[in-house]
Amino acid sequence: MKKIVQKFGGSSLNSAEKREMVVKHIEKAIKMGYKPVVVVSAMGRLGEPYATDTLIEVASEINKGIDNREKDLLMSCGEIISTIVLVQTLKKAGIEAIALTGAQAGIYTDDSFGEAEIIRVVPDKVNKTLKEGKIPVIAGFQGITEDGEITTLGRGGSDTTASIIAAAIGALYIEIYTDVAGVMTADPALVESARILDVVTYNEVCELAYQGARVIHPRAAEIAMKERIPIKIKSTFNDGPGTLINSNGMRKIKGDRPVTGVTSRRNIVFIKIIPENPVEYATGLLVFSLLAENDISVDFINIRSEATSFIIDSKNREKVDAILQEHNFNYKIRDDFVKVSVVGGGMTGRPGVMAKIVEALNKEKIKIYQTTDSHTTISCLVKREKEKEALNALHSIFELNL
């Protein structure tokens, strides 16, 4: 049995016309001899009926302090609604299908509500459904604890569902359908010359996602990489080839370029800890222990005798502010920065990449406030108002538009 997993995002399901396109992709897989397992996200965005954010807003209007357990119950509804609606659409087209919650699909998690970790998958019902000649349509983003509590998997959870189900059933590959035609060299809303990449590696797509690109959740890519399951990112709305994600990349690009793409993260806050006595900078270092105790991740760390600085996700601003005040730190908080990054597996051991980055940004008179790098990524902290200019300058100097 040739099994594949097809995942459809909420923007592919929020109208009858779009759902008809989804059905065509499923029909095509069936005609090619595959047994598809379908994973779906919640339909729509805030303000639209049945969107997850809309459901949360309804409850929050009554009580802002909704319990995390109950919040997960509520958030799981959006994907369940999508499964029912898509199954009816498939049945109307003459395709036998059955809707499954994450629990019914056998996804077991811990009890970390809102950010649950998958413990194991028991895909018996999924495999039984396939043997019966039906299409399992699974609600993404959710699972169940050993004692029966409904949980959600956090941001990008439906992508994670697709990967973990693919691993559990031995799928040949995963197709992730979105409203874009594939992984791009940059966000086309900011860089007009951005183009679709034909092939990228798991590591590259993970880094692009970590640094702000909304292509696939890194956790999903990591699962697929571990299990060596290729992923195809495609558009729901056309039959283009999209982007293949695998272990070796082998991109068809002009020349031997070190950079695959450029991206940015806006949802950051810059924090500087200033010790009263510059030589006693250990006072500033204490903050990392306090943040770790509160499960708050930090990035862009810079430790000097006169100050210690780092960035955090903006969603944690109030929490961090409270911690710093409670422990009487002397600090400054700024939210006018953006983190721009260049990503590429070809940068490892390649001299001159940072020089090109500095050249490109200096040419546009964009000040670099801080930098950090890894084997596949170099990031710069610049003013938020310079985000678009910085991305276009970097995209151009590395000839990603060619």
pLDDT tens-place string over residues 67-104: 999 999 999 999 999 999 999 999 999 999 999 999 99
Please, are residues 233 and 245 in contact by the beta-carbon 8 Å criterion?
yes
* Mean of pLDDT values over 367-395: 94
Contact 341, 262 (CB under 8 A): yes
pLDDT of 216-235, one tens digit each? 888 999 999 999 999 999 99
CA distance 178 to 231: 13
- Other Cβ atoms within 10 Å of 145 Cβ, number: 17
**Residue 53 belongs to a domain:** yes
Structural domain total, the chain: 1
Q: Which band of pLDDT confidence, cut at 50, 70 and 90, is reported for residue 391?
A: very high
Secondary structure (DSSP) of 224-270 = HHHHT--EEEEETTS----EEEESS-----SS--S--EEEEE-SEEE
**Residue 262, domain member (yes or no):** no
Position 215 in a domain? no
Residue 168 inside a domain? The answer is yes
Structure tokens of 101?
């919650």
Is there a domain that residue 56 lies in? yes
**pLDDT tens digits along 297-335:** 999 998 887 888 999 999 899 999 999 999 888 899 999
Q: How far is CA 63 from the centre of its chain?
A: 29
Asked, for residue 76, whether it belongs to a domain, the answer is yes
61 in any annotated domain: yes
Q: What pLDDT is recorded for position 77?
A: 92
More confident residue, 55 or 254: 55
Among 92-106, 124-138, 174-188, 237-251, which stretch is predicted with the lowest mean pLDDT?
Answer: 237-251
Instruction: Answer yes or no: is 399 within a domain.
Output: no
Question: For residue 60, what are the domain limits?
Answer: 3-179
Give the domain CATH number at 156: 3.40.1160.10
Average pLDDT over all residues of the chain: 90
